[in-house]
A and B are shown apart, each in its own frame.
Chain A
Amino acid sequence: AQTVTQSQPEMSVQEAETVTLSCTYDTSESDYYLFWYKQPPSRQMILVIRQEAYKQQNATENRFSVNFQKAAKSFSLKISDSQLGDAAMYFCAYRSPNKLVFGAGTILRVKS
């Protein structure tokens, strides 16, 4: 069974600085999809960024980018120019194949 591990329960970043959230996963499949979701306090979970495993190029979405290391089964999220609105719980997820398998999440705090 696939598993997803987020080893950082909580992270802090100064506004306008850069922060990286870690994620590792375990799978025997060669083709799959990885996602980062954001869950703001008391609000709906929304997609931040996605990566297809067969694509070597790292996905980017504005201030958000990933470092996808397929051999190491690592999928970290980098947030540049952090903003107060980035404060949330971030979940790394693996698509398996009809459901998402989530990590335990990382709480991101943004300091002004």
Chain B
Amino acid sequence: DTGVSQNPRHKITKRGQNVTFRCDPISEHNRLYWYRQTLGQGPEFLTYFQNEAQLEKSRLLSDRFSAERPKGSFSTLEIQRTEQGDSAMYLCAGDRGSSYNEQFFGPGTRLTVL
């Protein structure tokens, strides 16, 4: 167990619905990252936060996606008007902000859009 939790672990939704995922990182980790992993592929970067500030967003993060990290603690990732192509595992990770430091990953939220 890495100490990072994500909820829910699984989410099944119908196309067009909105979904929200939550990540609770280790308390000392001032940086929090979101990745998306599709079947048989490596995780792809979506966005990251330094404390409560969102500092970088990937081109993968369309305007249907929004992420927040209020008070620099937990983070939420919302997908509006879900599409079948959004089906994937959504991973969050945290670290102390140094390039040397490992990122500690959560177990992920598996999203299935019907």
Please indicate the chain A residues that have their CB under 8 angstroms from the CB of B2 in the complex.
44, 46
| Contact indicator B105/A104 (Cβ below 8 Å) | no
A104's partner among B1, B35, B40, B108 (CB-CB below 8 A) is B40
Please indicate the chain B residues that have their CB under 8 angstroms from the CB of A105 in the complex.
40-42
Q: How far is the CA of A45 from the CA of B6 in the complex (A)?
A: 13
With an 8 A cutoff between CB atoms, is B65 at the interface?
no
| Contact indicator A33/B48 (Cβ below 8 Å) | no
Of chain A, the residue at the smallest CB distance from B34 is A99
Query: What are the interface flags for B67-106 relative to A under an 8 Å C-beta threshold, 1 for contact and 0 otherwise?
Result: 0000000000000000000000001000000011011011
Which positions 75-112 of chain A face chain B at CB distance < 8 Å? 91, 93, 95, 97-105
| Contact indicator B99/A100 (Cβ below 8 Å) | no
In the complex, what's the smallest C-beta–C-beta distance from A27 to chain B, in angstroms?
13
| Contact indicator B99/A95 (Cβ below 8 Å) | yes
In the complex, what's the smallest C-beta–C-beta distance from B10 to chain A, in angstroms?
11
A98's partner among B41, B55, B91, B106 (CB-CB below 8 A) is B55
A44's partner among B44, B48, B105 (CB-CB below 8 A) is B105
Residues in A lying within 8 Å of B, measured CB to CB: 4, 6, 32-33, 35, 37, 43-47, 50, 52, 91, 93, 95, 97-105
Residues in B lying within 8 Å of A, measured CB to CB: 1-2, 4, 31, 33, 35, 40-45, 48, 55-56, 91, 99-100, 102-103, 105-108
